[in-house]
Amino acid sequence: MPIKQYNPTTPARRGMTSQDLSEVTAKKPLKSLIKSKKQNAGRNNTGRITVRHRGGGVKRHYRLLNHNLPAGTTAVIEEIEYDPNRSARIARIKDQDGLYHYVLADTSMQQGKTIVSGPEAPIESSNRTPLSRIPIGSQIYAIEIHPGKGAQLVRSAGVKAQLMAKEGDYAQVRLPSGEVRRIRQEATACIGVVGNIQHQNVKIGSAGRNRRKSIRPGVRGVVMNAVDHPHGGGDGGRHGTGKPPQTPWGQLTLGYRTRHRKDVSKLIIKSRHDAKRKK
């Protein structure tokens, strides 16, 4: 899907681009597959702000996606729709029983195409099947971590993983971050690449566009006073942090490891951090 550019009628328009939505339907989403979404402005259930710089923005309805299509499902794609809650497009499908579902749309999905889910599904793009049946070297997305739980990995616009090898009960999958991880072969995945691959090339162009996305302004710590941020203070003029990068509360960041879960370490063959160092 190409990038749409604008005439420079204003300073904001000069650097602004957006996605061409010509392939997305103009029909409204199914009422049975949406629910209201409350704007919490980055607050948790106790009212504390846990994500800064959030608030305002346009109202949205959440689309209920099915990340775990039952085995034996044969469905026809009726529409490709826009989803304001994710970077990827979604496809509205109708299965053999007449039920409607929303699923992630990949680059090969189009109106009228038939997709199949289950161990007997043909090895074709958009079909969902266990890793044990997918050929080595294939590009996959919407991957399960725990068999039967539904897709949890590789769901953003334009991303893909690659099935590297199969050994014993596990398959080795290279994720978009460069991490190579072991996943049980009973886990299912879709064949192909998530659609809307031009998402990363869109230029926001104006501050107001970010505000409509519920993103409020962020201020750098080095321009604050010392009482407000560890990076702040000092005499006038431009200066660096003078210390390792920290959050406003003194927590180290930018390289400081915060992962404490050890139960998945044995499943990670190659760390994503190691992959970045070699580039």
Task: Work out the number of other CB atoms within 10 angstroms of the CB of residue 104.
Answer: 27
In a domain, 212, yes or no: no
Whether 131 and 256 map to the same domain: the answer is no
Is the Cβ–Cβ distance between 53 and 47 less than 8 Å? Answer: no
State how many domains the chain has: 2
Last residue within a domain, chosen from 199, 231, 247? 199
Spatial separation of the C-alpha atoms in residues 254 and 261, rounded to whole Å: 19
- What pLDDT does 226 receive? 92
Global pTM value: 0.86
In a domain, 204, yes or no: no
The gap from C-alpha 263 to its chain's centroid, in whole angstroms, comes to: 24
- Residue with the two structure tokens 């039967």: 148
For 80, the domain range is 3-199
CATH number at residue 243: 4.10.950.10
Last residue within a domain, chosen from 146, 168, 199? 199
Is the Cβ–Cβ distance between 171 and 150 less than 8 Å? Answer: no
Whether 112 and 187 map to the same domain: the answer is yes
Whether 173 and 82 map to the same domain: the answer is yes
In terms of DSSP bridges, do strands 151-153 and 143-144 run parallel, antiparallel, or are they unpaired?
antiparallel
CATH number at residue 60: 2.40.50.140
Whether 237 and 123 map to the same domain: the answer is no
Q: Name the residue among 133, 121, 124 with its Cα closest to residue 72.
A: 121
Spatial separation of the C-alpha atoms in residues 266 and 182, rounded to whole Å: 9
In a domain, 216, yes or no: no
The residue type of 166 is K
Q: Name the residue among 243, 252, 206, 197 with its Cα closest to residue 222.
A: 243
Whether 188 and 67 map to the same domain: the answer is yes
Spatial separation of the C-alpha atoms in residues 83 and 86, rounded to whole Å: 6
Is the Cβ–Cβ distance between 114 and 74 less than 8 Å? Answer: yes
If the chain, 279 residues long, is cut into consecutive pieces of 10 residues, what is the mean pLDDT of each piece? Answer: 87 90 89 91 93 93 93 92 94 94 94 93 93 94 94 95 94 94 95 93 92 94 93 86 91 82 82 71
In a domain, 211, yes or no: no
In a domain, 207, yes or no: no
Whether 144 and 53 map to the same domain: the answer is yes
Whether 174 and 74 map to the same domain: the answer is yes
Q: Name the residue among 125, 110, 115 with its Cα closest to residue 23.
A: 110
Is the Cβ–Cβ distance between 205 and 190 less than 8 Å? Answer: no
Whether 100 and 228 map to the same domain: the answer is no
The residue type of 95 is D
Whether 114 and 157 map to the same domain: the answer is yes
In a domain, 279, yes or no: yes
Is the Cβ–Cβ distance between 5 and 15 less than 8 Å? Answer: no
